[in-house]
Structure 1
């Protein structure tokens, strides 16, 4: 079991390093083969938190980023507190399948060469709404991707700006998820601190390797890899949920 956990976090960290997301989605999808969604979400808090910090601060200019996306951050916090969706403690809501389907469709849309509309002119109004929905889905699925990822990409950011902005959203959502899990314990026991830390080194190693690759590829190739990664993650999450049933 311990070896499996280390392999999962190494792979998840590598994917996150290359495309800027994927550690929670990959971790949740693979870990729930042996663990409950609640336990899997608890296990990924420490690795996800530190890799998100790395992603956020690696490019600098964090204050400028916060100044631009503060309403997105507030929306995520509010959504995680007052979610309109059933949360992780409700095992009957097929949130993983829903999120997986949305991710797969978004990845397929991008691979077909369709460009998202430029929504930067409406950023002031959309950021808090998108943030709220992202926060609500975080406590429902353990993952913040839809609608935050396609929205941020629609702002026509450069590669490293996109990755850093996603790092900001992921950092805030992971903090919110940690608070939610602490305040809403369920019958399953949380993993021990030793196991919580077990995924940290593999995740950091995987992310370091993935980041090295990202810096060496062109914007166009990065875009294609990004959408392939999103499509693969979504398809896996959807099929994994169907397989469970």
Structure 2
């Protein structure tokens, strides 16, 4: 049991550290690393409670919540509906393809982050683009448990200030986690079956967040983000190599 829980707790600790340092990244780190140890639906189920608690904390700690919810409602509704109604979910898709999709998404996200590409969405496009992006993100969320692509680049294109962006990310991640929990329950994956494991994962994440904030005060955020993206690139590449060159996915 220790050989399973030790990497789980360490992964949540690092995920909390990254979230404390840059305001996002815990689901990305956790699913990217844990999918090498345990089945992806199980890793996603463990992530639900820590993700909800840390994102709600991040969401309510900022200002302008009412206007933000109003602006992002079409995106959030699309994300929820896309997740719940997606024809393919983690519990039904082949583990190899789900892991391959996760690895590919991590690599694309890392490459975009390293390129520092910036897109600006005009307000006239936001009204119809937000629900479309939300639905696409929901489909990805249902299949892989992660929707940083396309949600994070899209939110960055809406020209929020730094604090608004962190709060907008927290709102989307909260909605995504709730929708994923409902979808996993629909697919008979026990989301709250291992409450002790989820509680330990939450404690590890909460311990990591203040460490990340201290790190942010001592290390350039640009250096940290660059290191973060290179790590995601490596994790995504490893997952792709594993699914292409290892016959079957075995978890111990």
Common fold by TM > 0.5: yes
How far off its partner does 1:234 sit?
Answer: 4.2
CA offsets 1:39-79 (integer angstroms, 9 cap, x no match): 11111111111011122122122111101111011111110
Mapped pair 1:184 → 2:187: yes
Paired with 1:10 and 1:59, the residues of 2 have a C-alpha distance of 24
Residue matched to 1:237:
236
Paired with 2:55 and 2:192, the residues of 1 have a C-alpha distance of 22
Residue matched to 2:155:
152
Structure 2 gap segments, 5+ residues each: 247-252
Paired with 2:33 and 2:184, the residues of 1 have a C-alpha distance of 20
Moved more, 140-149 or 28-37: 28-37
CA offsets 1:89-114 (integer angstroms, 9 cap, x no match): 1125623333433443343344334x
- Matched residue of 1:94: which SS? helix
Paired with 1:124 and 1:235, the residues of 2 have a C-alpha distance of 36
Q: For the aligned residues, what is the CA RMSD?
A: 2.5
Aligned length: 239
Residue matched to 2:208:
206
Paired with 2:223 and 2:121, the residues of 1 have a C-alpha distance of 21
In the superposition, the TM-score normalised over structure 2's length comes to: 0.84
In the superposition, the TM-score normalised over structure 1's length comes to: 0.86
Residue matched to 2:250:
none
- Checking the alignment, whether the CA contact within 8 Å between 1:31 and 1:40 is kept in structure 2 is yes
- Matched residue of 1:156: which SS? coil
Distance 1:7 1:69, change over 3 A: same
- Checking the alignment, whether the CA contact within 8 Å between 1:43 and 1:191 is kept in structure 2 is no
Mapped pair 1:197 → 2:196: no
- Checking the alignment, whether the CA contact within 8 Å between 1:117 and 1:154 is kept in structure 2 is yes
Mapped pair 1:7 → 2:27: no
Paired with 1:127 and 1:236, the residues of 2 have a C-alpha distance of 29
Paired with 2:192 and 2:118, the residues of 1 have a C-alpha distance of 40
- Checking the alignment, whether the CA contact within 8 Å between 2:39 and 2:95 is kept in structure 1 is no
- Checking the alignment, whether the CA contact within 8 Å between 1:79 and 1:136 is kept in structure 2 is yes
Residue matched to 1:143:
146
Moved more, 34-43 or 104-113: 104-113
- Checking the alignment, whether the CA contact within 8 Å between 1:18 and 1:213 is kept in structure 2 is yes
- Checking the alignment, whether the CA contact within 8 Å between 1:16 and 1:207 is kept in structure 2 is yes
Moved more, 175-184 or 31-40: 31-40
Paired with 1:189 and 1:137, the residues of 2 have a C-alpha distance of 19
Q: Which runs of 4+ in 1 moved over 4 A?
A: 188-191
Mapped pair 1:105 → 2:104: no
Matches within 5 A, 1:205-224: 205-214=207-216, 216=217, 222=221
Moved more, 10-19 or 189-198: 189-198
Moved more, 26-35 or 195-204: 26-35
Mapped pair 1:124 → 2:127: yes
